[in-house]
Structure 1
Amino acid sequence: MHFGYDDRTAALLEQVSGFMDEHVYPAEAALKEQIERRERADDWSIPEAITEVREKGKAAGLWNFFLPGEHAESGGGAGPGAADLYRGAGLTNLQYAPIAELTGRSIQLAPQAFNCAAPDTGNMEVLHMFGTPEQKAQYLGPLMDGQFKSAFAMTEPDVASSDATNVETSIVRDGSDYVINGRKFYITGAMNPDCRVFIVMGKTDPSAERHRQQSMILVDRDTPGVEAVRGMHVFGYHDRDHGGHAEVRFTDVRVPASNLIGEEGKGFAIAQARLGPGRIHHCMRSIGVAERALELMCVRVKERTAFGRPLANQGVIRDWIAESRVRIEQLRLLVLKTAWLMDTVGNRGAHTEIQAIKIATPETVNWILDKAIQAHGGAGVSQDTPLAEMWAGIRTLRLADGPDEVHKNSLAKAELGKH
């Protein structure tokens, strides 16, 4: 068992760390001001700080780290240069894990800087795995090049979306087209003017077997009948750094049949293929959030005095700090084991571990954030530190990509099946 990083990972970590010191952390204050200005103006455009750091990340060649090596082959039929255009960094999940963790330390800026932010990453993986050559040329290439953004429309307000088979949006074949009707919400990035395409999940055959009723289809943002109704808040936050989360209505939206991803009835399977990498990417970044929170807590308690001695000398504070370090190390090892299994035996073979990290990560990181907030006192829940917004984002992960209870139920069933 070897715990060191290979040479390529170590070199990339050094590059990414240097880039963040030089370009990312210094831009955080400007991003905060730009987001606040956009909220006052109800402006959903991407802040200049993000645009600028993305240009620098791309110019430095620190781009598309998220795409695992086994998927980093060219997509045929897209013309000259297609192989280069469709090739990500070619890292394994294990190689990507510490890099993604590092980006989690500046969760609003760093993933964007390297074109490694959700939901684009998951959408690009879907197109890599299931897209036709034409779909790759029209959507995947530009997304990997950073020319525009995308959204993933699965969650619905009128059904329990923790069970993806519940989706009610209809996708009906009509001649050479499909016609889409339905309502989605919490569609991340959909308020962003640069969002040009949705991957929409709906039902093509409600009479089919339960897991064969759904399909996925590409819908251009400017297609008649697509309406972004409103931006949804998350604990009061607008999340304008990445285009918010929208309620979207599809009314008689007509798209070519060639926009279907894969085959009819494959939507649920495609969703599962998409969510596996998405879940571990969230967990990787969340460890970086925890590290940043612990760092902020340590700095804060060394600066403050209460009841005649520094907070850092209070036993309860030291307990929080020690517990935080132990929990981060435990969580990191579990995530790295999961990444290694995904690389060696595939997502299906790592199913138990993927569920385990999805359960453990938000709960663990929220515990650490809670202690960091407590150590900051009133400042911890204010806009003067990133802790409150970090807490809101991590708390949301207990719902995103499947709620804790669904993963626990599935994990328990698998354990019971062994006996």
Structure 2
Amino acid sequence: MHLPEPVAEEAPRPPWLHLRKRAAQAGLTGFDVVCANVGTRYAHGTEGDRGAAAVVPPHLARVAQGLAMFLAGRRDCDAREVFSSGHGAMALRYGRPVVAQAVYDQVVCGGELAGVASSEPHSGSDLRGLRTVAVDHGDHFVLSGMKGLVGRVDEATGFVVFCKVVPSEQAAVQGADVAWLREVPLSALWLPTATAGVLTETTVPLGLRGWSLGHLRFDDVRVGSELLLGVPGDGRRIFDTHFSGWRLMMALVCLGAATAAIEETMARARRRSVGRTCLANVPSVVSRLGIAAAEIQAATAWCFSLLERIEQEGDEVDVAACSAAKALATDASYRAVDIGLQLHGSEGYTRRTPMEKRLRDIRGLRIADGPNDTLYGVLAQSLLSETRPAAPLVAQRRA
């Protein structure tokens, strides 16, 4: 309703945060989670409007979230933040009741945003190499460290911060040495942005400019022990469970954008001609569009199949398959948009069409939440591992 056409870089920037708040009023920001910690499943909606949770069966919540992301991508990759609880789902699922209630009120009902702070400038996707430390003082933690290239750094009401929880006596003994931190298991905290000592810094990305990107610095931030998600050392389980689904969401955003690009390019091919030949009758054009469409349809089917499996199996998520599906989908989407841009000729290389914006946006999502080379490697290592039963290359769909 509010974005009838795909967004081009030259067009006015849509009011994304305002649209998210409108989505909250319509019940579109909490249908993806069962808010057990606050004793309800979100079903709020405007007067005369049924909330989304009222019409989404519980066993299809993730699939519905994926569909919302796909449709968002058809309009613009930045629309991905308008729907669902996003990274706030981690606080809703693993936080204590006081945390879950606060996030429910702010993110689900209020339409505010939740962010995530995991990667660090020196470690990239190496979660064991994180050096952000939360020193445990019993009734509170003292958080110190820096997170790099965090999305929604200006808009988020709070962040899920992945860090290493260590006892105060151990932190005092180790001093400046950081090598030992690799052996400390990962933990997660919910950290309100307004907490004293949280410093933000923004930067300008190549794409995905609808939301801010930057760094977070924690300068001896006092964090109440009630803000811990799960228990100390639970961070990797929380990360893998959440990001397996989230990577599929980002994949579907890109697939939606690629689908729109293919459709626009096919329409253009039917209108344009080379000499007396319609562009749609040129074999090289037809074959390239056919390959792109086949890759996008296959990747889309895989992503939705994995979302169905997550619904069926709960926390027993196939991390390797979800990782590789995100990599495959974003790679295929980039190729499809690149072909679309090429077939639009010089017009495609301008800011008047959505093509160049899609190309930059999808390029960013090939890095975000784990670079694609790493994600393909996760699947390969799972298949090669001798320490556990080998993962099937193709999982059977359950009836």
TM-score bracket, normalised by the shorter chain, equals 0.7 to 0.9
Amino acid at match of 2:72: T
Provide the residue aligned with 1:204 in structure 2. Answer: 165
Shift of 1:348: 3.1
8 A contact 1:207–1:213 mirrored in 2: no
Shift of 1:76: 4.0
Provide the residue aligned with 2:72 in structure 1. Answer: 103
Q: Which structure has the higher relative contact order (CA within 8 Å, separation 6+)?
A: 2
Provide the residue aligned with 1:13 in structure 2. Answer: none
Q: 1:316 to 1:276 in 2, by over 3 A?
A: same
8 A contact 1:212–1:267 mirrored in 2: no
Q: 1:352 to 1:54 in 2, by over 3 A?
A: closer
Q: 1:291 to 1:407 in 2, by over 3 A?
A: same
How do 1:256-271 and structure 2 match up within 5 A? 256-271=224-239
Q: 1:109 to 1:355 in 2, by over 3 A?
A: closer
5+ long unaligned stretches in structure 2: 45-50, 167-177, 392-399
How do 1:392-407 and structure 2 match up within 5 A? 392-407=360-375
Amino acid at match of 2:158: V
**Pairing partner for 2:112 from 148, 154, 174:** 148
Q: 1:325 to 1:230 in 2, by over 3 A?
A: closer
8 A contact 2:29–2:107 mirrored in 1: no
**Pairing partner for 1:171 from 125, 134, 154:** 134
Amino acid at match of 1:124: G
Q: 1:110 to 1:410 in 2, by over 3 A?
A: closer
5+ long unaligned stretches in structure 1: 1-21, 36-46
Shift of 1:404: 2.3
Q: 1:255 to 1:349 in 2, by over 3 A?
A: closer
Percent identical: 22
Shift of 1:142: 1.6
Q: Deviations 1:50-96 (Å, cap 9, x if unpaired)?
A: 355445434444443433xxxx143248xxx7876799553343444
How do 1:364-383 and structure 2 match up within 5 A? 364-383=332-351
How do 1:213-292 and structure 2 match up within 5 A? 213-233=185-205, 235=206, 237=207, 239-242=208-211, 244-292=212-260
TM-score normalised by the chain length of structure 2:
0.81
- Name which of structure 1's ranges 180-189 and 257-266 shifts more when overlaid on structure 2: 257-266
Paired with 1:61 and 1:83, the residues of 2 have a C-alpha distance of 7
Provide the residue aligned with 1:43 in structure 2. Answer: none
**Pairing partner for 1:294 from 262, 273, 282:** 262
1:189 maps onto 2:187 in alignment: no
How many residues are aligned here?
A: 366
RMSD value, Cα: 3.0
Provide the residue aligned with 1:93 in structure 2. Answer: 62
The structure richer in helix per residue is: 1
Q: Deviations 1:118-167 (Å, cap 9, x if unpaired)?
A: xx51x2221222110000122233211134222111111122x2221111
Provide the residue aligned with 1:19 in structure 2. Answer: none
TM-score normalised by the chain length of structure 1:
0.78
Shift of 1:303: 3.2
Paired with 2:21 and 2:112, the residues of 1 have a C-alpha distance of 13
What's the secondary structure of 1:75's corresponding residue? Answer: helix
What's the secondary structure of 2:351's corresponding residue? Answer: coil
